[in-house]
Structure 1
Amino acid sequence: MQVTLMKGKIHRARVTDADLRYEGSISIDRDLIEAAGFLVNERVDVYDIDNGKRFSTYAIEAPAGSGTIGLTCAAARLAMVGDKGIIVAYAGFAVAEATAFRPCVVLVDDNNRVISAG
């Protein structure tokens, strides 16, 4: 049997950009991608804290240290610059593996800089 668990999340990240014309998804500061254990092009779910909208897209890399959380293409219609959100990646595990797994939770400040990760 397989179960799906949260693999990693970035909690309360602030949307910094929205671009309807760019092909893509959600651009995430490389430092945050690494801290959360995400892979470039990995499917992520985004939960907007301010408006309650939830959607799935894929992660693309923004420059390290930029603090960028940028929504592009269709995702840019679902949140506004300044909105806070949660970005989550999930993974499938065998039950035995799942009981020992611990997700990476990244807390960020208002500039999307890592406060804590673990």
Structure 2
Amino acid sequence: MWIEVFKSKIHRVRVTQAELHYVGSITIDEALMEAANIIEGEKVQIVNINNGERLETYVIRGERNSGVICLNGPAARKVQVGDIIIIIAYALMPFEEAKKFKPTMIFPDENNRIV
């Protein structure tokens, strides 16, 4: 049996941009992606602390150490610049492996920088 488990989390980052007229996705600072073990193109869930919105999209690599967190396309309507969000990635794995798996969690500072 395979199950979907929590793999990675970028906890409480601030939205720096929202670009409605874009194909779609979330742009994340490459340094944050690396630290959280998230790759470009990976499906993520976005949870907005400010308004309770939850959505899924895929990741685009942003400029390293820029602090960029940008919701693109229709997702831009679900946030305001300055909102605090949590970015979560999941993985499928065999049940027994999942029991031992340890997720990666990062807690950036108020400027979306790795502490």
TM-score per shorter chain, which class? over 0.9
Q: Which amino acid aligns with 1:8?
A: S
Distance in 1, Cα, partners of 2:114 & 2:107: 6
Moved >3 Å (runs of 4+):
none
What TM-score, normalized to structure 1? 0.95
Is structure 2 residue 66 aligned with structure 1 residue 66? yes
Give 1:107's aligned residue: 107
SS at match of 1:32: helix
Offset of residue 24 of structure 1: 2.4
Give 1:4's aligned residue: 4
**Identity rate of aligned residues, in percent?**
46
Distance in 2, Cα, partners of 1:39 & 1:19: 21
SS at match of 2:51: coil
Q: Which amino acid aligns with 1:71?
A: L
Give the root-mean-square deviation of aligned CA atoms: 0.7
Q: Which amino acid aligns with 2:87?
A: I
| Structure 1 unaligned spans of 5+ | none
SS at match of 1:108: coil
Offset of residue 42 of structure 1: 0.5
Distance in 2, Cα, partners of 1:19 & 1:96: 41
Give 1:50's aligned residue: 50
| Structure 2 unaligned spans of 5+ | none
What TM-score, normalized to structure 2? 0.97
Distance in 2, Cα, partners of 1:48 & 1:24: 17
Q: Which amino acid aligns with 1:49?
A: I
Give 2:33's aligned residue: 33
